[in-house]
Structure 1
């Protein structure tokens, strides 16, 4: 009965714990393109939330792990839960780009 809750639980990592992982993980920034262009974490790939949720199999492979980030963590939490429920291996990046203490790429 409670397996649904266990299955939908998404692992999280704080945005500032990613510094040493950048370039070695699949980091997806789900903000809109104009937001992404204003500054994003280095090596993050931009796939807006609406696109990734409407066609996840086009962008994601169920055999890989993906880190999902947005501006503050709200959109990434929601999107991470939905993708996890679809069977994808997802880690939510809490805090989002707005909390990142490193230099942003443009």
Structure 2
């Protein structure tokens, strides 16, 4: 099973320029998202492995509540991409009172 971090830890790693991908569907992403995340819906993760593998850094994976991001992180780790899931997901981020974006694109 992949490693997990909480949203407070995510704030810290994002401050260092960490790469974060959101594996929700585009309509969920448009509704509310962590600023600076890249949308790669869960169903397209197998297609994105090659591109994600070109980076040496850990990829942090977020979804709504943490279930899909854990599945995506497990898949990525199994395919040579170091990935960490964000426990609690976007909902935990919002509940924590952190800034978030809405709309189709940042």
TM exceeding 0.5? yes
Does 2:95 align with 1:103?
no
* Aligned length in residues: 98
Does 2:22 align with 1:26?
no
Does 2:48 align with 1:48?
no
Secondary structure class of the residue paired with 1:22: helix
Structure 1 runs of 4+ aligned residues shifted over 4 Å read: none
TM-score by length of 2: 0.82
Unaligned runs of 5+ in 2: none
Unaligned runs of 5+ in 1: 1-8
What are the Cα deviations for residues 23-43 of structure 1, in whole angstroms up to 9, with x where unaligned? 511000010111001010011
Deviation at 1:11, TM superposition (A): 1.8
Structure with the higher fraction of residues in helix conformation: 2
Larger C-alpha radius of gyration, 1 or 2? 1
Q: What aligned pairs does 1:9-88 form with structure 2 within 5 A after superposition?
A: 9-22=1-14, 24-61=17-54, 63-88=56-81
